[in-house]
Amino acid sequence: MAVKERTYEDAEIQKRLEAELPNWRLEDGWIRRTYKTHSWKGTLMVINTIGHLAEAAFHHPDLTASYAWVEVRLMNHAAKGVTDKDFQLARKIEEVVSWQPGTEGGALTGTPDDPRFAYIKHER
């Protein structure tokens, strides 16, 4: 018989979000993050990135999308609450979707500062 994963109380979730994932929020039992994009192309890139990470982790978020945004919602359906799986996948999504190689130095310069190439609106 499978062991039920530990679910976190709202106060614990809030504390972890503040410390680990400040751009995420707790709402209606889910941890959530909205990524703003410049266009449908950017929205699809974000969705596909999240899809790859979720499938690799075998832990699947709910997604809602429009022309210039994607909302990610994580809650462990089997455990009926937010678990370590949700925090770990949220951190990986945040790391990959928010990656800006041009700010790190090195050979990868990142997306040019040109509207023709814009795809995601990064937090400043």
More confident residue, 43 or 124: 43
What residue spans of the chain are helical by DSSP H?
10-20, 40-57, 84-97
Confirm whether pTM is higher than 0.95: no
For the chain, which residues make up each domain, given as ranges?
25-99
Mean pLDDT, the chain, integer: 94
pLDDT in tens, 68-104: 999 999 999 999 999 999 999 999 999 999 999 989 9
> pLDDT value at position 4?
79
Neighbours of 59 (CB within 10 A): 18
Of 10, 5, 28, nearest in space to 88 by CA: 5
Query: Is residue 2 pLDDT above 80, yes or no?
Result: no
Is residue 76 classed as helix, strand or coil in its secondary structure?
strand
What's the CATH number of domain 25-99, 3.30.200.20, 3.30.1360.20, 3.40.50.300, 3.40.50.720?
3.30.1360.20
